[in-house]
Structure 1
């Protein structure tokens, strides 16, 4: 362990909008400095997303697309490890095994959320055959039961997302940077998120907005959004724990 490895994050008192902008600008600078690697990383995510959509459609489980996308946000930080290493300026990763541990914990979060979404759907609509993604989306938007399901699902998913964000937002880049155990890293990340609550709400909103834009382009926009957010997340961690974005 290195000296000061368990040091807590600083509390940033600046305007949260300006801080988030600073992180995104730094992320964009990294993306422009590494265009081939960054876009290749992003396209790998896009191709994986398209493959997942095809598999869901082919298996008749397209209704799982929305909860899977939400679950993907939970485990997204682990997929950006390579981007953190590039932004850090050194390709080696300090705590590889601990990253796998955190990834497994986040996967449990995601699977639990998907199971919760399945149970909510069954409670509202019963054990009925899946009519297709478009038909189910229309059902959700045009019926009272559908609105109830979306509200309940959003509240439930929001709880999972908030907790997942708090423990992973800064723990994964920390594990790339430091020799530290995964549980300590998650605890420090949670501490940083709670002590910079307004800032992290802004940061979470920016991530959600940009990710939604990427999804609305048929996932293609994620080829840029994914590396941009990955690099920006590294700078968010560096700003909070090193005082250098």
Structure 2
């Protein structure tokens, strides 16, 4: 089931900005080579996002939108697995069970973050009825208590996001390529992220900014951004573990 030798990632000494640009350029080249598959993949995820938003609004659970968006950042990488296979030129996935294991662990992170966000809101505002997404957002950005909640929530969410990124950024493409167990892949991903800390911060920031831009377009921009980041993530993995992108 596993490789006999678990090779660690190399340390990249180049300026982080140039490395991230190289990964994104390689991802863009993959998208242009596979436009139909890539945009179809991205469009399907956008439709899923719209459906989720509609269900939350219809069920009166709009308050969960922001925590779910944050949780989606943690779980989202699992949905890019099919793109990794295209980037490497082969469609099969090496270990679906182990990919599912990593996905389940990321889901636990996401659910824990959502629960933490709910508890923080209750601590600051008490057990009060949800006044609507727009009113609640206005309340948080216009009052000292709201600012405190946003600061605490951002710090808590940032810790979950950083841990989720470290264990998943390179483990998922690794599981597409290698026959390795999920925990070993996550450990190697964490090792790669910590030993290339500045580069990982730049890469994580690029992913966050591009994803935020996609969300600000009403999720529509994610139809392009999502496959771009998926392909670029494969090249990030290949660069760190094979010295090629």
Does the alignment reach a TM-score above 0.5? yes
Match of 1:215 in 2: 215
Give me the whole-angstrom Cα distance separating, in 1, the residues matched to 2:5 and 2:199. 23
The number of residue pairs the alignment matches comes to 245
Contact 2:3 2:180 (8 Å CA) reproduced: no
Match of 1:187 in 2: 187
Give me the whole-angstrom Cα distance separating, in 1, the residues matched to 2:56 and 2:126. 20
Give me the whole-angstrom Cα distance separating, in 2, the residues matched to 1:139 and 1:198. 36
Query: Is 2:172 the counterpart of 1:172?
Result: yes
Offset at residue 180 of structure 1 (A): 0.1
Residues 2 and 141 from structure 1, CA distance in 2 versus in 1: closer, same or farther, beyond 3 angstroms? closer
Show structure 2 runs of 5+ residues with no match. Answer: none
Give me the whole-angstrom Cα distance separating, in 2, the residues matched to 1:183 and 1:27. 27
Offset at residue 2 of structure 1 (A): 7.1
Q: Secondary structure at the match of 1:127?
A: coil
Contact 1:75 1:103 (8 Å CA) reproduced: yes
Give me the whole-angstrom Cα distance separating, in 2, the residues matched to 1:69 and 1:2. 34
Query: Is 2:118 the counterpart of 1:105?
Result: no
Give me the whole-angstrom Cα distance separating, in 2, the residues matched to 1:143 and 1:3. 54
Give me the whole-angstrom Cα distance separating, in 2, the residues matched to 1:70 and 1:29. 29
Match of 2:64 in 1: 64
Match of 1:21 in 2: 21
Give me the whole-angstrom Cα distance separating, in 2, the residues matched to 1:145 and 1:4. 54
Give me the whole-angstrom Cα distance separating, in 1, the residues matched to 2:138 and 2:54. 20
Contact 1:120 1:153 (8 Å CA) reproduced: yes
Offset at residue 4 of structure 1 (A): 6.2
Show structure 1 runs of 5+ residues with no match. Answer: none
Match of 1:121 in 2: 121
Contact 1:5 1:180 (8 Å CA) reproduced: no
Q: Over aligned residue pairs, what C-alpha RMSD do you find?
A: 1.0
Give the TM-score normalised by the residue count of structure 1.
Answer: 0.98
Give me the whole-angstrom Cα distance separating, in 2, the residues matched to 1:221 and 1:20. 20
